[in-house]
């Protein structure tokens, strides 16, 4: 593999790794029960879910770091913004994980009925953090990296167009949840996230299987790094 092919493969693999947290949809079902903190039994499933989310947080940051050296040649400012939003997303995911693990700790310590309000607050915080970190911010990510890939033609333009569509639908779903038009855990809510999930999965598969388009790589590396769509020399 050439260095650029390795970069594409690494970015694609990390995109695919970010889907490892899908089982949390089922693993976290118990923590949403109103009396979870009063229950007994194993918390292994919930802890595994937390670990999977930690992996997703790091994988998400990794995708931006892996792509940055290439896409910065299209627009360094937007590329840096993508690294920033991916890092923000990862940090917010870890904050949500902290809420889940705190809830598990209270349960294992036998906190009892006196901690019901605290437990409800923790799960509410997790849900709202999830709405931002794994719903709204991914839409921003899609717009940033999608615009870079669309302009540079590093991948077929159909892929970033799918990302743009997914971002719009995802934000629409988030607004509907915030205004109470639909429930955050309603089955219809998940439909708004399908296009963005398909976009990220398709991008991961393409980068792993095909890598960057050779003609686009030639065009990018035949010009200086761009800053806000201006050649670096012009900025100086």
| Residues 27-46 pLDDT 10s | 999 999 888 998 888 899 99
38 vs 87: which has the higher pLDDT: 87
pLDDT at residue 231 is higher than 70: no
Q: Are 169 and 195 in contact (CB under 8 A)?
A: yes
Instruction: Give the model's pLDDT for residue 229.
Output: 53
- Average pLDDT score over residue span 50-69: 97
pLDDT at residue 236 is higher than 60: no
Dihedral, 139, 17, 52, 144 alpha carbons, nearest 10: -20
The candidate with the shortest Cα–Cα distance to 145, out of 59, 60, 39, is: 60
Q: Are 4 and 211 in contact (CB under 8 A)?
A: yes
- Average pLDDT score over residue span 52-78: 97
Instruction: Give the model's pLDDT for residue 187.
Output: 82
Q: What is the pTM of this model?
A: 0.90
Instruction: Give the model's pLDDT for residue 235.
Output: 41
Residue that the structure tokens 């790091």 belong to: 58
**CA atoms of 224 and 75, how far apart (whole Å):** 11
Instruction: Give the model's pLDDT for residue 113.
Output: 81
pLDDT at residue 224 is higher than 70: no
Q: Are 21 and 50 in contact (CB under 8 A)?
A: no
Question: Residue 18 has what DSSP assignment?
Answer: G
């Amino acid at each position: 593999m050439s260095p650029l092919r390795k970069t594409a493969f690494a970015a694609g693999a990390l995109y695919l790794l970010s889907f490892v947290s899908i089982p949390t949809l089922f693993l976290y079902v118990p923590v949403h029960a109103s009396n979870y903190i009063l229950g007994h039994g194993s918390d292994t499933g919930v802890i595994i879910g937390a670990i999977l989310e930690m992996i997703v947080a790091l994988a998400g940051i990794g995708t931006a770091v892996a792509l940055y050296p290439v896409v910065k040649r299209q627009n360094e400012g937007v590329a840096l913004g993508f690294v920033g939003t991916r890092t923000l997303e990862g940090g917010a995911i870890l904050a949500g994980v902290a809420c889940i693990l705190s809830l598990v700790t209270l349960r294992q310590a036998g906190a009892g009925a006196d901690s019901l309000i605290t437990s409800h607050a923790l799960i509410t915080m997790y849900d709202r953090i999830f709405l931002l970190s794994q719903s709204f911010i991914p839409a921003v990510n899609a717009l940033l990296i999608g615009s870079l890939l669309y302009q540079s033609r590093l991948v077929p333009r159909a892929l970033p167009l799918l990302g743009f569509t997914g971002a719009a639908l995802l934000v629409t779903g988030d607004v509907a949840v915030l205004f109470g038009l639909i429930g955050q855990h309603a089955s219809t809510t998940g439909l708004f996230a399908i296009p963005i999930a398909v976009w990220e999965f398709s991008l991961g598969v393409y980068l792993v299987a095909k890598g960057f388009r050779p003609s686009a790589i030639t065009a990018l590396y035949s010009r200086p790094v761009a800053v806000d769509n201006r050649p670096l020399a012009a900025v100086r």
